[in-house]
Amino acid sequence: MNILVLCTGNSCRSQLAEGYLRHFHGTVASIYSAGIETHGVNPRAITVMAEDGIDISIHTSNHVDEYLHIPFDLVLTVCDHASEQCPIFPGAVKRIHHNFPDPAKARGTEEEIMSMFRQVRDEVKDYIKDLPLSSL
């Protein structure tokens, strides 16, 4: 099974989801993440995932066009913008959409920003952990 997680910039939400998909479902699926644009992997995303024991420091920010040749079984969009701009993938691709808040837009002190990153990380973790891949 090939899974693509798609977000606007492939810097935060899709990186978190890719990390948890690999952690929870990596033995039954090949996991990719991409963006409609590429913004680089957000250092705060790397930090909050490390706090939960998952290393995403080697992840890269990729453009969705790099993966158009892969026969995906599932495309998971994790923000409304990516869902609206998602390209058409050939074949019987199942699309699932779940909009998560963008932690990169958080403002305030460093602790307030990191709190938002942790909140979104936990939301993504709960969602991915319960994703019924066997029913796809």
Annotated catalytic residue, options 49, 78, 79, 131: 79
Cα distance between residue 50 and residue 62, in whole Å: 21
* Residue 72 near residue 94, CB atoms below 8 Å: no
12 catalytic per annotation: no
**What 3-state DSSP class applies to 32?**
strand
- CA 64 and chain centroid, separation: 12
* Residue 34 near residue 6, CB atoms below 8 Å: yes
Annotated catalytic residue, options 3, 4, 5, 7: 7
Annotated catalytic residue, options 29, 86, 113, 133: 86
Catalytic sites, residue numbers: 7, 79, 86
